[in-house]
Amino acid sequence: MRKLSFDTVVWIIISLALVVMSLLPGCGPARNALHTATPTAPPAAPCTDGARRCNGLIPERCTVTDGVGRWYPLHPLGADLRPAPCALRCVVDDDGAHCAGPAADAGADAAEGGAP
């Protein structure tokens, strides 16, 4: 059986402690530290809980936990660990941020045979 190095044991203990602390109520700093260390987690950003936006072609929603806001994509991550973008465009309206088809004026141009 292979022995673990001292450094490896220390990292395992620290990681387990962070995971356990993050599950306990009132351990926001540990939860945020664990979140910050996760490569696929969005970075902390100032935002209002529940706000929605388009980040390029990616619809996002703000979630504030323990006083730290983060913009989460509304689409799942792909194999490249990036959120799937909208095919045509992203819009924010009464329904929130979401993917949409062609703009209304683009559809009118197409129906009329295109712009001159």
Query: Within this chain, do residues 52 and 25 fall inside the same structural domain, yes or no?
Result: no
Q: Which of 24-33, 44-53, 56-65 has the lowest mean pLDDT?
A: 24-33
Q: Residues 72, 115: one domain?
A: yes
**What is the domain count for the chain?**
2
Average pLDDT of the residues in 1-29: 74
24 vs 93, higher pLDDT: 93
Average pLDDT over residues 94-112: 71
pLDDT score, position 109: 42
- The verdict on 48 and 93 lying in the same domain is yes
97, with CB counted inside 10 A (0-12, 13-18, 19+), is buried
Task: Give the residue numbers spanning the domain of 55.
Answer: 42-116
Instruction: Report which of residues 53 and 17 the model is more confident about.
Output: 53
106 and 64 in a common domain: yes
Q: How confident is the model at residue 37 (pLDDT cuts 50, 70, 90)?
A: confident
Residues 9 and 48 in one domain: no
Averaged pLDDT, 52-72:
93
Compare 85 and 24 and report the one with higher pLDDT. Answer: 85
What residues contact 40, with CB distance under 8 A and at least 6 apart? 77, 81
Beta bridge partners of 63: 70
Q: Are 46 and 31 within one domain?
A: no
- Summary mean pLDDT of the chain: 80
